Amino acid sequence: MVFLMGIFRAFSRFCQEEGRLMEKKEQKKWLKFRHKLTVWLLRPIFTLVVCLRYHVKIEKFKEQGDRPYLIIMNHQTAFDQFFVSIMFNRPVYFIASEDIFSLGWLSDVLRCLVAPIPIKKQTLDLQAVKNCIKVAREGGTIALAPEGNRTYHGRTLFMKPGIASLVKKLGLPLAIFRIDGGYGIHPRWSDVVRRGKMRCYISRVIEPEEYAAMSGEELFRIIEQELWADEAQVTGEFPHKKNAEFLERAMYVCPFCGLSTFESHNDRITCKKCGRVIRHNADKTLEGVGFDFPHRFVGDWYDAQSDYINQLELTALTETPVWEETARLSLVTPYKNKRLLKRNAMVCLYGDRITVDGRVFHFDDTSAVVVLGKNKLNIYADRELLQLKGSKRFNALKYVNFFHRYQNIKGGKNDEFLGL
């Protein structure tokens, strides 16, 4: 065991050094032979793990040939990148959130083995575009999810129209990768993988000469149509005894008592204000236990929650906290590491600000509030990036929604977009 740990540490140091060299020598090629070797060695392991965990059907892309692509996909599970890597013969260079580049030595290992392309989630990242151009010119295959987020409710999320400009700029064949059934198998808010049917396939390939003749608006409409999925409906059975567990990561508005806190166990979730209990069934439908619940699916409930927030008068919520809870507080140095500041910081959400252990992050002075994964929250303010990671029941989404509602009111917008 000691011998193996020594090898592992040596390998980590090697990857760290490789990562530093990559940063210092940007003029060198992005594509490396070791990326092909990594795919060759790890694809059988990924295939076995994915098939055992998700029981997914990944259809062969027989027409891919030996050429690079720009792959765009809808984003439904935490394993989507593995589905793509299994289908394509070449190494795939994924555009990935900056969060995975702030994990110290682990980030160095990822850079060394697969060289993902970093992007800052909260901004228009011109450096990410330049890196994509570099990879494309070197003959690399690039993959990204235009949504930038996993769906909480089963429907494809908002996509920025700028994706069409990126497609045209890179000039690669566009492969549209669809995932069907992923939300039913593994919702973003859940820790468990359900049984059920899931399918991954290429729905369409658009050649450069074909989309060159289109306007950006036309191309964007096609991308929206091809990636649109609505799993907020009955699409099969996805049984598990914990079908509702951790749904409170997504839901915080009760149809009967408004802003609230929920707690879930197994297939039921309970409003802690009014005590009503909702059951999440294997076919994704919802039902009240002993009463009529007004929403049939999580997607319907989520839409009603968004409508509620878009009508919320935040100025009435600035005197006392709407929510108080604790979370791990870390200071993130982008592309380097995270430093834990406090394990149990007191976090309070108001209608116009977030406070963390008394430190105030007013929405006027905060550039972005972003949810990552299942229950992490990034606050971008004063040239600092702070990350909150709460308990398993922590709802990071409400902070993002409040921030965007505040910005929409401040800007005099009728925009209903609440951050996802």
Segment 242-256 mean pLDDT:
97
Q: Please state at what angle helix 105-113 crosses helix 2-24, rounded to 10 degrees.
A: 70
Token output for 84: 């793509």
Give the gyration radius of the chain's Cα atoms: 22
Above 80 in pLDDT, residue 196?
Answer: yes
Confidence of residue 267 (pLDDT cuts 50, 70, 90): very high
Token output for 281: 């069934």
Number of Cβ atoms within 10 Å of the Cβ of 367: 12
Q: Which of 15-29, 99-113, 124-138, 333-347 is least confident?
A: 15-29
Give percent above pLDDT 90 in the chain. 77
Segment 68-89 mean pLDDT:
94
295-308 per-position pLDDT tens digit: 999 999 999 999 99
pLDDT at residue number 105: 83
- Which of these, 332, 384, 389, lies nearest to 359 by C-alpha position? 384
**Which H/E stretch holds residue 172?**
none
- Which of these, 75, 85, 163, lies nearest to 372 by C-alpha position? 75
For 329, list phi and psi in degrees, rounded to 5. Answer: -110, 125
Segment 336-359 mean pLDDT:
95
Confidence of residue 124 (pLDDT cuts 50, 70, 90): low
Above 90 in pLDDT, residue 120?
Answer: no
**Residues forming beta bridges with residue 305, ordered by sequence position:** none
**Residues forming beta bridges with residue 205, ordered by sequence position:** 175
Please give the model's pTM, rounded to 2 decimal places.
0.89
What lies within 8 Å, CB to CB, of 415 at 6+ separation is 408
Q: What is d(CA 14, CA 22) in angstroms, rounded to the nearest whole number?
A: 12
Token output for 385: 């990036």
Confidence of residue 18 (pLDDT cuts 50, 70, 90): low
pLDDT at residue number 415: 73
pLDDT at residue number 53: 87
358-370 per-position pLDDT tens digit: 999 999 999 999 9
Above 70 in pLDDT, residue 6?
Answer: no
367-406 per-position pLDDT tens digit: 999 999 898 999 999 889 999 999 999 999 999 999 999 9
Phi-psi region of 161 (alpha: psi -120 to 50; beta: other; left: phi over 0): alpha
